[in-house]
Chain A
Amino acid sequence: MIRAEAISKSFGKLNVLRNVSVRLDAGRVVAVIGPNGSGKTTFIKTLLGMVVPDSGTVLFDNQPIEKQHAYRSQIGYMPQIGHYPANLKIRQLFEMMVDVRKNAATQLDEDLVEAFHLKGLFEKPLGTLSGGTKQKVSAALAFLFNPSVLILDEPTAGLDPLSSEILKEKIQKEHQNGKLILITSHVMSDLDELATDVLYLQDGSVQFYKTITELKLETGENKLGRVIAQLMSKVPQMS
């Protein structure tokens, strides 16, 4: 579905991505993990066309995404921090997104809007919302247009336990529907429940990209947190 071919990116002297090549297929839930500053967010932004790689290409359904924007109608993106225009009401934000993205074919998926009881807050200005509520709004927007790819940057950070469960259930449901889901997170127990594959980045290069079952067999551990801890201690520290 998405293929990154030898993408490299540097900001000044800092090499954020070095020759990253991965293939992300429909039906998989890929956990993108790595230490802080390992290039996770830059990698995700490259897939979305927000960051233009210095070299290499990203293909979406075998089409290069360079200077394209239509492909993003198939992607739902939930940013790490949602800052929205402070005086806009939640309802207006949703209306705007619907204006921008809806076409006759899309069926709106309001599962999360209902599960998070956002309708009750619809007339509140976005500037008055708490961090967690903004996070719920971001999540609901990412799933709203039933996209075939979901890119979630730290989706459960800042959510209360109940909402976090609701979101995880939703992610699992969409996984059953055969979507490609990319998640970055530092919460290993969440990823253990959700992910099928692990893409481990360090210092901008892919250390490994394997299925969770494989990793557990290799290391003999049965919790993802322990697996990663074991592998991280083996990976040479470059910085």
Chain B
Amino acid sequence: MNKITKYVLYDIVRNRFVMGYTLLLLAISMSFFSFESDPNKGLLSLLNIILMVVPLVSIIFSTIHFYNSYEFIELMSAQPLSRKAIFLSEYLGVAASLSLAFLVGVGIPTLVFGGDQSSLILIISGLLLTLSFVSLAFLASVITRDKAKGIGLALVLWFYFSLVYDGLVLGILFSFNDYPLEKAMLVLTALNPTDLARIMVLMKMDISALMGFTGAVFQDFFSTNYGLLVALFVLLLWVVVPVSIATRIFQKKDL
């Protein structure tokens, strides 16, 4: 399986778009850390950018790449390889290259300038966010054969998780503010990978006081190692589940 992954990786690493993405991330991280004297503030600003940019680039690039590789995937499926191996190799290739871009663009500067526990959490959650949006992109790509529809679906997913979802949650909070919603909020957070990543980093930064009572509940839950592990696990589910469903669909799909 890793036979194909290696070459998919070779191909993408030399892709101009991915190079540009790496440089963009690098520029963003460097500027935040050099403008802010307090590395924690830099980290916070960086977090906000990452939560928008990383999912967007991951999901759009992966979807476009999948459709552009369609003939190549067809050719591979005429070789003595199982569909599953082909699909997962493609996934691993794309995921590895975007993770690499993230590690170079955000990981290295963050470790150099920040270096405490919260920067580590930022890197881990950023990586998992990359993986889960690549995973969602692969799901969007196998659902429809039409490239425009696929990219549209990917964009809708990004809009939903990055913008719409928070609005919905706020709406729920306002409509039901007579009820104790803290537990429900925990569950709602788990249903969105971007929120999970955000909460994981914020909780490590001791700024939950700014978040009111719900923040206190979150603090109680997520700042413990147990809570962090649960959050990590749920984020991992966001990586594994979409790509497994996508693999199932791909195995039965007509190419």
Contact = CB atoms under 8 A, between A and B. Distances in A.
Given A100-B3, A101-B80, A51 B10 contact: no
A87 interface: yes
Interface stretch (A42-50, A172-180, A228-236): A42-50
Contact of B79 (A51, A87, A100, A151): A100
Nearest to A9: B254
A104 interface: no
Contacts of A93: 7
B7 A50 contact: no
Nearest to A74: B80
Contacts of B252: 52
B13 to A, nearest CB: 8
A128 B83 CA distance: 29
Interface string B11-26: 1101100000000000
Contacts of A72: 78-81
Contacts of B81: 69, 72, 100
A50 B4 contact: no
Interface string A41-79: 000010011111000000000000000011111010101
B187 interface: no
Nearest to A89: B10
Nearest to A42: B254
Interface string A81-101: 111111110001101110111
B254 A51 contact: yes
Nearest to A86: B11
B74 A50 contact: yes
Contacts of A99: 3
Contact of A50 (B10, B68, B72, B78): B78
Contacts of B201: none
B255 interface: yes
B72 A83 contact: yes
A66 to B, nearest CB: 11
B69 A85 contact: yes
Interface in B217-255: 252, 254-255
Contacts of A86: 11, 15
B74 A87 contact: no
A77 B78 contact: yes
Given A70-B80, A72-B80, A97-B79, A81 B255 contact: no
16 contacts: A11-B254, A45-B255, A50-B77, A69-B82, A71-B80, A72-B80, A77-B75, A77-B78, A79-B74, A79-B75, A82-B75, A83-B71, A84-B75, A87-B10, A88-B7, A88-B10
Interface of B: 3-4, 6-8, 10-12, 14-15, 68-72, 74-83, 252, 254-255
